[in-house]
């Protein structure tokens, strides 16, 4: 938020600099040719100093040159109107100051560009809307769990992978764009409240949430799913109860070699989700 305001202020400074330069040149053009030349020299000098010189040196140059210029124009014998003298005096410090602030903003934008990879990396790891980690982290954790399942077969380890997909989320986003993020936050809140602290929650995008449950007894896992279904059924999004597709796969020492990557697990789960929709449809017809 603060950086956005800095950029906005900098763009306003750049716009002000251009307007002031144009106005000063237009005003100087109303007088003799040498006045316009003097004004152009002061503006160019101010732009060069403000763009290239360090801030402390800019301050001292502004003070020094303004003092010298005041002594020459105001105390010396130069036939020139007082408003024009003041404008010539103001041309250098004004353009130098605005050019320095413009350079500061360009530097800020440069910082953003230099750190773009870090920003994109952070966005890839963590979703700011639902406050959950993304599929990148889920894949790393799953790979680590798979290694332990393969290595420690005597320990009888397993992991339950559950995906919950908000059906028609893209249609809702198209017609209720402002409420879409809030709806995702409501779903995420239910998952955070209903799932155990030992379970890991992730957001894969496109209205899909992922739950990794480590070594939970079947009865506990079933209870957690039922509790989650009840919590989601109580939601109201756009004055309607949202629909969800569920998919699940238990990965253990028996089938782990067939599902060594999260991508392979998600392919199986997506087929499971389609089956879930068909079952729900048949129940509705009955």
Distances (CA, A) of 255 to 56, 145, 235, 250, 275: 68, 14, 36, 9, 21
∠ Cα 200 204 210 (to 5°):
35
Model confidence, pTM? 0.60
- Of 125, 84, 139, 178, nearest to 264 by C-alpha is 139
Looking at the structure, do residues 68 and 87 belong to the same domain, yes or no?
yes
The answer to whether position 241 is within a domain reads yes
* List of the chain residues with pLDDT < 50: 1-2, 278-286
Looking at the structure, do residues 241 and 129 belong to the same domain, yes or no?
yes
Looking at the structure, do residues 110 and 159 belong to the same domain, yes or no?
no
Per-residue confidence (pLDDT) for residue 69, from 0 to 100:
66
Looking at the structure, do residues 204 and 65 belong to the same domain, yes or no?
no
Per-residue confidence (pLDDT) for residue 63, from 0 to 100:
75
Per-residue confidence (pLDDT) for residue 284, from 0 to 100:
46
Per-residue confidence (pLDDT) for residue 29, from 0 to 100:
72
What tokens were used for 39?
């004004």
Of 87, 114, 141, which residue is a domain's last?
Answer: 114
Per-residue confidence (pLDDT) for residue 280, from 0 to 100:
47
The answer to whether position 243 is within a domain reads yes
Looking at the structure, do residues 272 and 153 belong to the same domain, yes or no?
yes
Looking at the structure, do residues 171 and 213 belong to the same domain, yes or no?
yes
Per-residue confidence (pLDDT) for residue 108, from 0 to 100:
55
What CA–CA distance (Å, rounded) separates 5 from 66?
Answer: 31
Of 86, 114, 142, which residue is a domain's last?
Answer: 114
Q: Which residue range forms the structural domain that includes residue 161?
A: 125-285
Average predicted confidence (pLDDT) for the chain: 81
Per-residue confidence (pLDDT) for residue 59, from 0 to 100:
74
Domain count, the chain: 2
Give the tens place of pLDDT for each residue, 248-286. 999 999 999 999 999 999 999 998 888 755 444 444 444
**Given the DSSP bridges, would you call strands 132-134 and 126-127 parallel, antiparallel or unpaired?**
antiparallel
- Of 248, 266, 271, 237, nearest to 169 by C-alpha is 237
The answer to whether position 120 is within a domain reads no
């Amino acid at each position: 938020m603060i950086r956005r305001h800095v950029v906005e202020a900098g763009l306003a400074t750049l716009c002000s600099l251009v307007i002031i330069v144009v106005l000063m040149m237009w005003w100087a053009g109303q007088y003799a040719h040498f006045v316009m030349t003097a004004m152009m020299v002061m503006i160019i000098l101010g732009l060069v100093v403000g763009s290239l010189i360090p801030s402390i040196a800019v301050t001292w140059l502004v003070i020094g040159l303004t003092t010298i210029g005041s002594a020459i124009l105001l105390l010396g014998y130069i036939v020139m109107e007082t408003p024009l003298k003041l404008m010539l005096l103001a041309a250098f410090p004004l353009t130098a100051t605005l050019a320095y602030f413009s350079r500061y903003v360009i530097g800020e934008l440069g910082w953003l560009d230099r750190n773009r990879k870090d920003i994109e990396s952070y966005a890839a790891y963590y979703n700011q809307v639902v406050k959950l980690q993304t599929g990148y982290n889920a894949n790393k954790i799953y790979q680590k769990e798979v290694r332990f399942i393969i290595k420690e077969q005597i320990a009888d380890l397993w992991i339950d992978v559950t995906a919950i997909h908000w059906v028609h989320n893209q249609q809702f986003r198209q017609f209720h764009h402002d409420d879409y993020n809030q709806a995702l936050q409501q779903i995420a809140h239910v998952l955070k409240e209903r799932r155990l602290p030992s379970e890991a929650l992730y957001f894969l995008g496109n209205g899909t949430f992922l739950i990794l449950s480590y070594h939970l007894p079947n009865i506990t896992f079933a209870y957690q799913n039922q509790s989650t279904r009840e919590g989601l059924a109580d939601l109201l999004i756009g004055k309607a109860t949202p629909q969800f597709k569920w998919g699940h796969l238990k990965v253990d020492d028996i089938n782990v070699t067939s599902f060594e990557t999260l991508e392979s697990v998600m392919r199986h789960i997506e087929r499971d989700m389609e089956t879930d929709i068909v079952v729900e449809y048949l129940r509705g017809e009955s």
